[in-house]
Amino acid sequence: LGALGPLYSRVEQQLNETLRRRRHAGGDDYNIEVLLGVDDSVVRFHGKEHVQNYLLTLMNIVNEIYHDESLGVHINVVLVRMIMLGYAKSISLIERGNPSRSLENVCRWAYQQQKSDPSHSEHHDHAIFLTRQDFGPAGMQGYAPVTGMCHPVRSCTLNHEDGFSSAFVVAHETGHVLGMEHDGQGNRCGDETAMGSVMAPLVQAAFHRYHWSRCSGQELKRYIHSYDCLLDDPFEHDWPKLPELPGINYSMDEQCRFDFGVGYKMCTAVLAPTFLAATPTSTAVTPFRLGVVLLSPWFLACLLCQWCYKGHCMWKNTNQMKQDGNWGPWTKFGSCSRTCGTGVRFRTRQCNNPM
């Protein structure tokens, strides 16, 4: 009977290798398997009992941002491991006012956590580190190496956690690691920054208005085929199940506290045009600015018996995610298939109304 142990292990390993097969490069989906590192400042702010569900919700939002059709490539952000650091380790990694050294420390730490066996269920392609410590000048929100994806040491990002809006910072910094540059810097997409492009030098994307610029899509397609680690089929992980609409679990007062700190609540004045609060909204390698969070008129109508869903007021309905979609708008016609004679031009529409 003792001899059956090694045999069982070999069979189990073969089964795992079968389940985790590497697809050919022409596969439709790319999977970024993520190690999420969280320092003590984040754990203490959200509380040990609540921080895991908060982080799962945050990563779900990041995943949704990468599912936006404007990206042009289907990328899944898959959380494979979460590590919460103690106080001593947290302060040893983050050097106040030194983003380069802090990023270097975080990337080295992530490398040390890597599982040596690529077929291990917790082997990661990319590390995302969250902190509420100030690692750079005031307003610096993130720092990342460009085109570092799949590299054993350079596939990592350092992000300042400021509530659910931090999902756009995480998506932005991970975009750098995938090879994307700032819109309008070295490319011709500066016109898209005011419309909420994720890779704007100053992150102005919001839940009701965000997209990936045409330059981000082009830059991603230039590099994506070289990132072989993204071709793995991820394992199933036994994370706690979250509601289909993640915001259900968090009141507006809680979300204000996440973004601005203890003592902040949602402004309930009927005619108030803004939240009387400001928060840094810049990225790591650009000057910062303070952004005032606007409370738009349509949001006020959402306060009673409605909720805000993808930027629109919807009547509260537990079956919100189960609606049948209708046809969305047609795209513009593409170029003709031939330069002379008879050719064909195509246009498409999707069944995405409502999303």
Same domain, 93 and 218: yes
Phi, psi of 168 (to 5 degrees): -70, -35
Query: Domain span at residue 62?
Result: 20-231
> Which domain CATH number covers 129?
3.40.390.10
Same domain, 83 and 196: yes
- Contact yes or no for 290/310 (Cβ under 8 A): no
Residue found under tokens 């968090």:
250
Same domain, 143 and 176: yes
Same domain, 147 and 32: yes
Q: Where are the alpha helices (DSSP H) in 234-286?
A: 252-260
pLDDT at position 270, please? 44
Same domain, 301 and 346: no
Same domain, 54 and 145: yes
Same domain, 131 and 170: yes
Q: What is the reported pTM?
A: 0.76
Instruction: Report cis status (omega within 30 of 0) of the bond before 246.
Output: no
Residues of the chain under the 50 pLDDT cut: 1-4, 7-8, 11, 14-15, 18-26, 270-301
Residue 91: helix, strand or coil by DSSP? helix
Same domain, 70 and 167: yes
Q: Is there a domain that residue 9 lies in?
A: no
Q: What is the token pair recorded at 7?
A: 């045999």
Domain count for the chain, please give it.
3
pLDDT at position 84, please? 98
How far apart CA 215 and CA 334 sit, in angstroms, is 18
Q: Which residues are CB-neighbours of 117 under 8 A, at least 6 positions away?
A: 123
Same domain, 25 and 174: yes
Q: What is the token pair recorded at 175?
A: 């975009």
Q: How far is CA 116 from CA 10, 45, 102, 120, in A?
A: 18, 33, 24, 8
Q: What is the token pair recorded at 125?
A: 């392609």
Q: Measuring CA to CA, which residue among 316, 286, 339 is closest to residue 141? A: 286
Q: Measuring CA to CA, which residue among 23, 33, 21 is closest to residue 150? A: 33
Q: What is the token pair recorded at 138?
A: 């005031």
pLDDT at position 275, please? 37
Q: Domain boundary at 231, 250, 269, which?
A: 231
pLDDT at position 9, please? 59
Same domain, 131 and 186: yes
How far apart CA 229 and CA 20 sit, in angstroms, is 12
Q: Is there a domain that residue 289 lies in?
A: no
Q: How far is CA 12 from CA 19, 30, 184, 237, in A?
A: 11, 26, 51, 17
Residue 7 gets which letter from DSSP? H
* Residue positions annotated with a catalytic role: 173
- Contact yes or no for 277/293 (Cβ under 8 A): yes
Show binding-site residues for Zn(2+): 172, 176, 182
Q: What is the token pair recorded at 62?
A: 């990041």
How far apart CA 38 and CA 54 sit, in angstroms, is 12
3-state helix, strand, coil in the chain (%, to 5): 35, 20, 50
Q: Measuring CA to CA, which residue among 148, 159, 133, 174 is closest to residue 282? A: 159
Angle (CA) 121 89 282, round 5°: 85
Same domain, 167 and 27: yes
Q: Domain boundary at 200, 231, 262, which?
A: 231
Q: Is there a domain that residue 163 lies in?
A: yes
Q: Is there a domain that residue 67 lies in?
A: yes
Q: Domain boundary at 184, 211, 231, which?
A: 231
Same domain, 353 and 316: no
Q: Is there a domain that residue 200 lies in?
A: yes
Q: Where are the alpha helices (DSSP H) in 67-188?
A: 87-93, 99-113, 166-177
Show binding-site residues: 172, 176, 182
Q: Residue 299 belongs to what H/E stretch?
A: helix 297-300
